[in-house]
Amino acid sequence: MSAKAKVFEKLLVGVVDDDSLMRDSTVRLLRSFGFRVEAFASAEEFENSGYLEETACLILDVRMPEIGGLELQRRLAVHNHRIPIIFITAYDTDDIRSQAFRAGAAAFLGKPFSQQSLLQAVRSALGEQPGEF
C-alpha cells in the first residue's frame, strides 16, 4: 500500500442514505478500496453519531425522510463544518444540482452512478490529485 493510500485509509468517509441497499453497497465499495467508512440511515443519525468532527468527506442522498441532504448541507454550513459533500440522488434535476453546487458541493452524482465516478469524486473531495492513488 502506498503512503498516499495509508493516509486515505485514516480519513473517514460518511455515507448517509435511507436506502439500505445503496448505503451498504457504497460502504462495501469504498472499503474494498481501503477507505475508512461509517454508514448512517438518516441525517439525524449522522448529526448525533459523534463522527461529525472526524468526517473528511460525506456522501449524502438528496432526498430522505425528515431532513434531506440539502438541508443537512445547510445545517453543516451554519455551524461552520466544512466537510466536502458528494451528493447522490435518483432525483437529478438542474434546480437541485444548482442548489447543491451553489452551497459548495464537491460533486453531484445521479443514481445509478458508476463505481469509477464515485471513487473519482471521493478521491477528489479528499484532495487527491489525478494519478496519485
Query: Does any domain span residue 109?
Result: yes
Smallest CA-to-CA distance from 69 within 126, 116, 111, 127 is with 111
Query: Does any domain span residue 11?
Result: yes
Tell me the pLDDT band of 13, cut-offs 50, 70 and 90: very high
Cα(13)–Cα(110) distance, integer angstroms:
19
Query: Does any domain span residue 132?
Result: no
Residue-wise pLDDT for 92-107, tens only, equals 889 999 999 999 999 9
Query: Does any domain span residue 10?
Result: yes
Single-letter code of the amino acid located at 85: I
CATH number, position 17: 3.40.50.2300
- The number of folded domains in the chain is 1
Query: Does any domain span residue 131?
Result: no
